[in-house]
């Protein structure tokens, strides 16, 4: 029997998911698909907003980008709450090393 990962951050799974996956999509599949779509859209919209040459187009696309980020966050929160999205905690030593590395970079900035 495998040991649970002590670095895993997750809620217990809720809802009735099938033990054996069938070709039909369940609630988790639909939300996961929608979240993946929002991630793809925000990546593309980030580029479009940054490169928009017309002020009104920029503002409209920025609003759409913001709403898409908010939708993605809401779906993530639902999935995490239901135990369908797991995160892995990083070791404190590795966090400290990365922090130190980037702190050292800051000393190289001219301002």
Q: Determine how β-strand 8-9 pairs with β-strand 87-88.
A: antiparallel
HSE-up (13 A, CA, CB side) for residue 63: 5
Q: Please, what is the Cα angle at 25 between 21 and 30, to 5 degrees?
A: 125
Per the prediction, the chain carries an average pLDDT of 86
pLDDT tens, position by position, 81-93: 998 888 888 888 9
pLDDT tens, position by position, 6-41: 677 777 777 666 666 778 888 889 999 999 999 999
How does residue 1 score in pLDDT terms, banded at 50, 70 and 90? very low
Say which DSSP state 88 is in: E
Q: What is the pLDDT of residue 16?
A: 65
Q: What is the pLDDT of residue 55?
A: 96
Burial of 38 (C-beta count, 10 Å sphere; 0-12/13-18/19+): buried
Say which DSSP state 14 is in: -
Q: Higher-confidence residue: 19 or 76?
A: 76
Phi-psi region of 83 (alpha: psi -120 to 50; beta: other; left: phi over 0): left
Distance CA 58, CA 56 (A): 5
Q: What is the pLDDT of residue 40?
A: 96
Position 67 pLDDT exceeds 50: yes
Q: Where do the structural domains in the chain lie, given as residue ranges? A: 26-106
């Amino acid at each position: 029997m495998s040991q649970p990962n002590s670095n895993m951050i997750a809620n217990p799974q809720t809802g009735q998911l099938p033990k054996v996956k069938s070709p039909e999509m369940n609630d988790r599949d639909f939300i996961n698909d929608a979240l993946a779509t929002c991630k793809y859209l925000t990546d593309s919209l980030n580029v479009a907003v940054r490169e928009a040459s017309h002020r009104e187009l920029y503002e409209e696309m920025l609003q759409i980008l913001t709403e898409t980020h908010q939708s993605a966050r809401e779906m993530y929160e639902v999935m995490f709450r239901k135990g369908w999205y797991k995160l892995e905690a990083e070791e404190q030593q590795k966090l400290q090393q990365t922090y130190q590395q980037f702190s050292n970079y800051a000393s190289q900035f001219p301002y």
